[in-house]
Structure 1
Amino acid sequence: MCFGKPMKDTFIEAKLVSPKLIRIAFLTSLPFERFYATLIKDHREETNLNVTRFASSQGNAIAEALLETPLELGHSYFVKSNYGLVPLSVDEATDFEGFDEKFDAENEALGSLYEKDGTLFSLYAPLASSVSLKIEKQNENVFSLFCLSRKENGVWSIFLQGDWKNAQYVYQVVNSEVLRETIDPYAKASTANGERSVVLCEDDFLLPQWKEGLKPLKSYTEAIIYEGSVRDLTISQNTNIIHKGKYLGLIEENRHTKMGHKAGLAYFQELGFTHLQLLPIYDFKTVDELHPEKGYNWGYDPSQYFVPEGSYASHPEDPLSRIKDAKAMIDILHKNGFRLIMDVVFNHVYDWQTSSFEKTVPNFYFRKKENGQLSNASGCGNVLYSERPMVRKLIVEAAKWWIDFYGVDGFRFDLMGLIDVETVRKIEEYGKSQDPSFMVYGEGWNMGGDSKVALSSMDNAKMLPGFAFFNDGFREVAKRFFGGDLSERDAFRYCYLGSSEQTSTSHPRFLSPSQSLNYVECHDNKTYYDYLHYTKNISDEKELLARSKLVLGAILFSFGIPFIHAGEEIGQTKYGKDNTYNAGDDFNEFDYSLLDSRYSMALYFKDCFLLRKKLSFLSNASLEEIKTFTQIENISSGLRITFSGDLEEFKEVNVFFNPSNEPFTCMLDADQDILLMDGDALPVGIKAMSVLVPKCSMLVVALKKAIS
């Protein structure tokens, strides 16, 4: 319906700036006249506005009108004046005091809820004056349009009788007289590239999750985490993996490289890690799902939080393929003894302006600075307003969906320091109620966050005792020390104990080593090989690989949670680049041809994995117990860590680290078994009372208990 337009050479904007106050702004070349205005509600009711202020200057004017009662949201409003007619923007209402309480829909089931005899559609849109459902039944190729009804809490809903399984739909939402078409923020299924939401029948996907056979975790420190992406781990042309770049490629059995070494799932089994952390597998924006070969992205550009990424599906044109394949991947990983950690980005979205969030509730989902500007603490243009109850609801519901429907075993939170403490606690509480071994950890950087509530940074580690944090202190110290900077030795002693012990120079960073995720590289860092080569200017290949093995040994035999980036175990390069999020397969894929040439390195780390599991005190001891049986001493240019006491089958275990370019010798009190070594010294399997620790290497020896 057309109501006219502003006068020539005149711009007018009307905005609700408080529950009872409308502000009208003018830009005009015309002389100002006596001003009057009326408010039109739902294209019918007209009410004269009480203009309490009018000020003008050089073609600009401001008028303010005071309402007798707070404006009732959920209706269409226009302001008509002697300067023209304009829609009334109510977007500012989301910042009014009491908005969240008035429009509390935390107990509502949002999205599409399918039953064979009918489907309920519900959308949270408290500002909207109308919401329509545009829907097409499967294989009919004809859309129908239905108007939804509004509840007082701002939820619009409709129940459609009949069987709507796999129907495709979008919403048409009118906010402040602007109609925008949007997918469902709570949709569980989607067409390719997120063009339409799809009604999902959950009962069609009731598959076993195979969790019963997974070994329970007594502590996070029993985990050994291996990080990669679906595409990077399967795309190589040097294997016979069939589903390259796909969910199913991760679970193909008996795959191998061109030289016959194990690849894919078989390679994971050979390494023996406990947890596979996958880069985002929810739906992300910037890869064309129908033509994934034309683009590349890690997936830190979220689009749909409840829907798996379609470019990894075997048939991305089929909305159900991504669901079937993602569930199968997780289920088969479980069946083979691996737990799956999902990398989640609940701190920002790809593009806030075109997101389903902004289209359904403008000015609501994203955090602002005190001056009203959008926060960019994430560096990605926006930050989710996680502490807002209905935003928290969406985040928590998405997490629950992945836990219940897909069976994920934990979350790695991207930029966790931007998410409020209460939200991540709710996710932790639910995850551990379903599985006590559920893991939660993330990037705890303090990035400001533009929030007045406690955020989940490392500064608040005491508020999050059940969370682990990427320990960037360990990362930087270990990189330098094992790269040959011997001045970092004392700093590494602190990091070795999980950054949890008071020293003369450092306060505890964490409550215990179970909060310290120990690593030297992850997806968005330079690889350690590249750090040594391009930053430390080490060019000798033998030294580069020796130091690469040494630092991984340090990760695996320190107190805390070992975290390994795929390819780190074979000294993989990204040619000096670090944040290769869109650089393509050449920089990011797991290099199986390199594995063929350095397979002995992979086997060495398999032995490290096995020995860490055998030395259970590294993962099961409390901080107080660690203090009683651990002694760290400087020896020559390296370190000797001695564990003594009741260590199961051992009376004493010694770990030597030598990051220097000179070997050193150490005398022991008795002949000890060499459990693990790297270098040119004595072979494993014999005893020694005097041990040579080669340059750039680690050595583990142990004294077994006497057999009574």
Structure 2
Amino acid sequence: MKVSTNYLAIFGVTTVATVMSCSSVKKEYTSFELYPVRTGSLVEMEYTPEATNFMLWSPTADEVRLMLYEAGEGGHAYETVRMQPGEDGTWTATVNEDLLGKFYTFNAKINDKWQGDTPGINARAVGVNGKRAAIINWDSTNPEGWENDQRPPLRSSADIIIYEMHHRDFSVDSTSGVQNKGKYLALTEHGTTNPDKLLTGIDHLVELGVTHVHLLPSFDYASVDETKLDENRYNWGYDPQNYNVPDGSYSTDPYKPDTRIREFKQMVQALHKAGIRVIMDVVYNHTFNTGDSNFERTVPGYFYRQKADGTWADGSGCGNETASERPMMRKFMIESILYWAKEYHIDGFRFDLMGVHDIETMNAIREAVDTVDPTICLYGEGWAAQSPQYPADSLAMKANMSQMPGIAAFSDELRDGICGPVSAKHKGAFLAGISGGEMSLKFGIVGAIKHPQIHYDSVNYSRKSWAEQPTQMISYVSCHDGLCLIDRLKASMPGITHEQLSRLDKLAQTVVFTSQGIPFIYAGEEIMRDKQGVDNSYRSPDAVNAIDWRRKTTNGDVFTYYKRLIDLRKSHPAFRMGEAEMVRKHLEFLPVEGSNLVAFCLKDHANGDSWGDIIVAFNSRTIPARLAVPVGKYTVVCKDGMIDVRGLAIQTGSEVIIPAQSALIMYK
């Protein structure tokens, strides 16, 4: 029987879809909220050697077909099976034979139109380029010892130190010494070095001291043709195709569905053994395409928001925005996160354009992962590319973080207060010696919480605090998106010398690592990586994006500084109090004369620190700065671009000199 038109509008326009139930009685859905919600798991395929069960949620379909294939690409279906309507809008079929090694797709007929083949919305194994789902032996995907894999210990989210990396960037260059360049397995290789025998790869991460690796999108994405990897096609991966499958371009064989799964697990296992947790960048806010997406071919209109005129909303700036508030999209997101946490042992999730999602969904995800492990970290971008089609006070925006305990957001206040506005790459700020960003630095130093010494009318973007706890703020100066730190310094300070680059690089990261938020660095910053001034290198070649590991030799002093800075933070709990009340009690900003100088004291053995009063100062002037300090005898541990916790000098008296373009840290 013919199905009526599904009108795609939700604001002021009624959504109507007429479907046939099992008893052949018409049922109309007058809004997306009335669509049935599938009970139980959203799994779409259950395999046994005797029979395989298939399930697809497509409540507005009047017919659904299952197609079986011998291969992951090419050829025609060797069998077509008509699926039967069941409960909650779910169609089912059972094939009573051993389908191991076969591939399948679904095709739904809606409004007298076949929507087109799709592997479903929840495929967990796929063939090359992800067009067909695969039937595999899951036991064969677990590396030896996988059942004993353990998340590295994490006492508090305040102890997290994040290192953001792209698989190709990190290992594809010839100087990496890695065999499996640009692959998941690159992070399983020990003993790799640059031409000067300095550590690279996973050993470099251990040497540096980070606690978490943040992997740019590693699910199956659409923009790289996995059949033409020799063409050096590059992308960051923010164009989702199949959310619950590792991407094939980072595997050694994208044609074998089990290979990418096994190698991804090997990578996680190796990082865990090295004491490093794994964060996955997730992009639930939009899909690569809309009309031909797995979502749209399965349940037209449902998974995306629409404008009042029925056109697609575009809060992502990528052509669409998903509707996290709708029950089945929310359910999909929660189950997807839990799947990666359980099946792949993922330890954290970074949400791309988190501000597109609704608060209720993000809190539901936090509650769900807590049942697996409450130390799993969640954070994201507290903004959207454009205004989403959903009430602003209900979105997971930075301004609403107080309603999302246990979830963090990036601080663009701190980032741009240090470096300058990301939208104007030639305009500098604190690092460039331009006044006006000092209060934005202070805002970030306390972790975006309420603090009596922060004058919010002088903070660059926020007129009030937005974090309830300092661990809800991600502290950073650069990431994959926008100019990396070195390129930003070059753009905003024409003619800058290498020595100045080195000094200001160290100064910037000292702010990050002594702030009370969660510190985050971009891969390669510790060896002064650049990207030739390209600020949106998502499809630039390896020549732009790859890390040149010879820089670890030429910029060895910067690497040593980062390493010791990380060790300083780990060794002294005053820099990571984790509680807003403790920060307000123990962190006091010191008065300074003039601009481009920020100083604070961590007083009274903050957070049980063995050091007494700790003085921290940042001077971005091109000349030394004088700072009045409480009278006492201090041990200087950071000065003039050097760090040594054993002590660099002894400081007495009521005044200290801070060298130009550098940080000072000393303690009583």
Same fold (TM over 0.5): yes
Q: For structure 1, list consecutive stretches of 5 or more residues without a partner in the other structure.
A: 2-12, 19-68, 78-89, 704-708
Match of 1:115 in 2: 48
1:230 is displaced (CA, Å) by 1.1
Contact 2:402 2:466 in 1 (8 A): no
Map 1:467-616 → 2, pairs under 5 A: 467-479=407-419, 480-502=429-451, 503-504=454-455, 505=457, 506-616=463-573
Match of 1:30 in 2: none
Distance 1:461 1:213, change over 3 A: closer
Query: Percent identity, aligned pairs only?
Result: 29
Match of 1:662 in 2: 623
Map 1:231-270 → 2, pairs under 5 A: 231-270=168-207
Match of 2:603 in 1: 644
Match of 1:198 in 2: 134
Distance 1:283 1:150, change over 3 A: same
SS in 2 for 1:655: strand
SS in 1 for 2:331: helix
Contact 1:644 1:651 in 2 (8 A): yes
Distance 1:544 1:101, change over 3 A: same
Counterpart amino acid of residue 661 in structure 2: C
1:458 corresponds to which of 395, 398, 403: 398
Larger strand proportion of the pair:
1
Contact 2:158 2:578 in 1 (8 A): no
Contact 1:118 1:163 in 2 (8 A): yes
Distance 1:695 1:137, change over 3 A: same
Match of 1:324 in 2: 262
Match of 1:103 in 2: 36
Match of 2:120 in 1: 184
Counterpart amino acid of residue 701 in structure 1: M
Contact 1:166 1:200 in 2 (8 A): yes
Distance 1:490 1:253, change over 3 A: same
Contact 2:413 2:441 in 1 (8 A): no
Q: Deviations over 1:119-166 (max 9, x none)?
A: 110011122222111113589997222111111422111122232223
Q: Deviations over 1:533-566 (max 9, x none)?
A: 1123242221122111100111001111111011
Match of 1:416 in 2: 354
Distance 1:395 1:679, change over 3 A: closer
Match of 2:650 in 1: 687
1:672 is displaced (CA, Å) by 1.9
Q: Considering only aligned residues, what root-mean-square deviation do their CA atoms show, in Å?
A: 2.7
1:362 corresponds to which of 300, 305, 317: 300
**Cα distance in 1 between the residues matched to 2:247 and 2:6:** 40
**Cα distance in 2 between the residues matched to 1:111 and 1:181:** 15
131-140 or 235-244, which deviates more: 131-140
1:108 is displaced (CA, Å) by 4.9
2:387 corresponds to which of 442, 448, 459: 448
Distance 1:488 1:149, change over 3 A: same
Match of 1:58 in 2: none
Q: Are residue 343 (structure 1) and residue 281 (structure 2) matched?
A: yes
Match of 1:706 in 2: none
Map 1:380-391 → 2, pairs under 5 A: 380-391=318-329
632-641 or 561-570, which deviates more: 632-641
Match of 1:129 in 2: 62
**Cα distance in 2 between the residues matched to 1:545 and 1:621:** 30
Contact 2:414 2:444 in 1 (8 A): yes
Match of 2:226 in 1: 289
545-554 or 103-112, which deviates more: 103-112
**Cα distance in 1 between the residues matched to 2:585 and 2:642:** 33
**Cα distance in 1 between the residues matched to 2:464 and 2:566:** 30
Distance 1:510 1:476, change over 3 A: same
SS in 1 for 2:291: helix
Contact 1:233 1:250 in 2 (8 A): no
Contact 2:356 2:396 in 1 (8 A): yes
Match of 2:94 in 1: 159
Distance 1:99 1:343, change over 3 A: closer
Contact 1:259 1:596 in 2 (8 A): yes
SS in 2 for 1:244: coil
Contact 1:74 1:127 in 2 (8 A): no
**Cα distance in 1 between the residues matched to 2:41 and 2:563:** 49
2:20 corresponds to which of 73, 80, 97: 73
**Cα distance in 2 between the residues matched to 1:232 and 1:213:** 25
1:292 is displaced (CA, Å) by 2.2
1:667 is displaced (CA, Å) by 6.5
Contact 1:137 1:164 in 2 (8 A): no
Contact 1:113 1:121 in 2 (8 A): yes
Counterpart amino acid of residue 699 in structure 1: L
1:590 is displaced (CA, Å) by 1.8
Contact 2:617 2:663 in 1 (8 A): yes
Counterpart amino acid of residue 653 in structure 1: I
**Cα distance in 2 between the residues matched to 1:422 and 1:70:** 26
Match of 1:677 in 2: 639
Contact 2:187 2:270 in 1 (8 A): no
Counterpart amino acid of residue 248 in structure 2: G
Distance 1:631 1:103, change over 3 A: closer
TM-score, normalisation: structure 2: 0.88
SS in 1 for 2:664: strand
Contact 1:681 1:693 in 2 (8 A): no
Distance 1:102 1:686, change over 3 A: closer
**Cα distance in 1 between the residues matched to 2:517 and 2:643:** 29
* Structure showing greater relative contact order (alpha-carbon pairs closer than 8 Å, 6 or more residues apart): 2
400-409 or 181-190, which deviates more: 181-190
Match of 1:376 in 2: 314
Alignment size in residue pairs: 626
Distance 1:537 1:106, change over 3 A: farther
Contact 1:189 1:200 in 2 (8 A): yes
1:461 is displaced (CA, Å) by 0.9
Contact 1:444 1:457 in 2 (8 A): yes
246-255 or 197-206, which deviates more: 197-206
Contact 1:106 1:390 in 2 (8 A): no
